[in-house]
Amino acid sequence: MTPLASYRRLLHLAGPTYVMVAFVGRLPLAMSQLGTLLLVSTASGSYGLGGLSAGALAVANAVGAPVAGSLADRVGQRPVVLVQSLLGASGLALLVAVVGGDAAPSSVVLTAAATGLFLPQVGPLARVRWRPLTRSTGAHQRRLVDAAFSYEGAADEASFAVGPALVGLSVAAFSPGGAMLLAALLLAVFGSAFALDPSARLTHSAKRPAGAGRLLTAAFVVLVGAQLSIGMLFGATQTGATVLATYAGTPGTAGLVHATLGVGSAIAGLATAYVPERVGHERRALLAAWALLVLSLPLLLVGSLLTATATVLLLGFAVAPYMIAVFSLAERAVPPARVGTAMTMLASATGLGYALGSSLAGRLADASGATAAFAVTVGATVLAVLLMTTQQRRLRTAAEAAPDVVVPAAQSRVPAAARVTTG
């Protein structure tokens, strides 16, 4: 089965409506981090407070996501994601009100944290749905799951291009508060639609007994560290772009600059389906990590929005291949009953890395400008290279030991009535 045929088959299995809902449903999270940074830093005049608030949102999301993922593994995604979507949308609107009311810095940070606690991680949870959705495809399933993870990696990166771009356009047309309210509206509508889609039932009906198998193996801890490094890259790069844009007098363009990271990444993500199966995911992660390091170094030399945009665009071509390899390794390295928890833990590590990267870069930028912020980006890629270089054997062993789990065919298809809903 060719990669293009794999993508067509995935679209047929899930339905175009589901694919659209799952993509738009992840935009609010992509918007919330930059939106919070711009909202708070613009109102307070402090990059440090803006970075701290965005970091608090990311840290709280990192804490809440694995809890939600574990709960979804036990009771199903539908009730969990629905509650998260409604509470998260309310939190985004409340944050706008708190900042607009000139609240104390501590109140702003606490509100951002409370909001982040409830924002759903749609991308990782969508990954969990592909194994049961493709169960009926027999010998083609592994290839289809790999293609699905390539698509999800591209979709995540596209969301982090479209999300910041929406923030930038909203800030230019209205205000940072308007951008956050748009994120709240999208989450309330499309997050709820993702929760209620019939595919959510498959993750529960096809689950294994809770606690079956160990989650925190040495290999999985390495993968968590790998995602921490990429989160630091996101946070530091976004902060550096914000500093350049603010100095240029157009803070809203920070979202457009950072969006180019997602553009290059999304293109590369879709292309990873064309990598031969004989090239293991651990090897792909290693090559992508070195590409991240090489492509991040020019950020230390940029001095304008134009050069930063071009450099960030090229850097993006290494991001999705790296993340797709990491998530694919995790899907194989953990017990099937714990995949939801594992995917959200990796997303949490990304959020923690974002918090660390944005907070550190924000403090350095307050003292030394954008170049200091981008130095944190380079440091994050060094961490990625060290992890992937030293842990190749461990990751390969974990991936090769992955069991092939068989689920009854009756649990592998969306019911006919549901197929109408999913397109």
**11-15, 39-43, 137-141, 419-423: which range is least confident on average?**
419-423
Predicted pLDDT at 47: 72
Q: Are 68 and 84 in contact (CB under 8 A)?
A: yes
**82-86, 289-293, 351-355: which range is least confident on average?**
351-355
What are the tens digits of pLDDT across the range 248-263?
A: 777 767 767 767 887 7
Whether residue 208 is predicted with pLDDT greater than 60 in this model: the reply is: no
**102-106, 173-177, 273-277: which range is least confident on average?**
273-277
Q: Give the Cα separation of 191 and 372 in Å (integer).
A: 36
Residue in this structure with the two tokens 């100095």, named with its chain if needed: 247
Segment 159-183 shows an average pLDDT of 84
For residues 377 and 261, which has the higher predicted lDDT (pLDDT)?
377
For 121-142, b/e burial (b = at least 16 CB within 10 A) is: bbbbbbbbbbbbbbbbbeeebe
Task: Count CB-CB contacts under 10 A for residue 418.
Answer: 16
Residue in this structure with the two tokens 């003292």, named with its chain if needed: 367
Q: What is the CATH number of domain 15-402?
A: 1.20.1250.20
Separation of first and last alpha carbons in the chain: 23
What are the tens digits of pLDDT across the range 383-397?
A: 999 999 998 888 888
pTM (predicted TM-score): 0.74
Whether residue 421 is predicted with pLDDT greater than 80 in this model: the reply is: no
Binned at pLDDT 50, 70 and 90, residue 412 comes out as very low
Q: Helix axis angle, 305-333 relative to 141-173, nearest 10°?
A: 150
Q: Give the Cα separation of 210 and 300 in Å (integer).
A: 47
Predicted pLDDT at 198: 82
Q: Give the Cα separation of 36 and 55 in Å (integer).
A: 9
**197-211, 333-347, 361-375: which range is least confident on average?**
197-211
Predicted pLDDT at 209: 47
Whether residue 82 is predicted with pLDDT greater than 50 in this model: the reply is: yes
Q: Give the Cα separation of 339 and 320 in Å (integer).
A: 20
Whether residue 273 is predicted with pLDDT greater than 80 in this model: the reply is: no
| Two tokens, residue 374 | 């981008």
Give every CB contact of residue 211 below 8 A, 6+ residues apart in sequence: 337
Residue in this structure with the two tokens 């969301």, named with its chain if needed: 159
CA distances from residue 175 to 97, 117, 228 in whole angstroms, order as listed = 13, 24, 31
Q: How many residues does the chain have?
A: 423
Predicted pLDDT at 288: 92
Binned at pLDDT 50, 70 and 90, residue 420 comes out as very low
Predicted pLDDT at 190: 94
Domain boundaries of the chain, sorted by first residue = 15-402
Phi then psi dihedrals of residue 24, to 5 deg: -65, -30
Segment 127-154 shows an average pLDDT of 77
Whether residue 195 is predicted with pLDDT greater than 80 in this model: the reply is: yes
Q: Give the Cα separation of 294 and 315 in Å (integer).
A: 9
Predicted pLDDT at 138: 67
Predicted pLDDT at 111: 92
Range with top average pLDDT, 50-59, 105-114, 159-168, 345-354: 105-114
For residues 268 and 232, which has the higher predicted lDDT (pLDDT)?
232
Predicted pLDDT at 279: 79
Predicted pLDDT at 40: 87
What are the tens digits of pLDDT across the range 216-229?
A: 788 888 999 999 99
| Two tokens, residue 339 | 């995949």
Binned at pLDDT 50, 70 and 90, residue 204 comes out as low
Give every CB contact of residue 416 below 8 A, 6+ residues apart in sequence: none
The per-residue pLDDT of the chain, averaged, comes to 81
Which amino acid is present at 87?
L
Percent of the chain with pLDDT over 90: 22
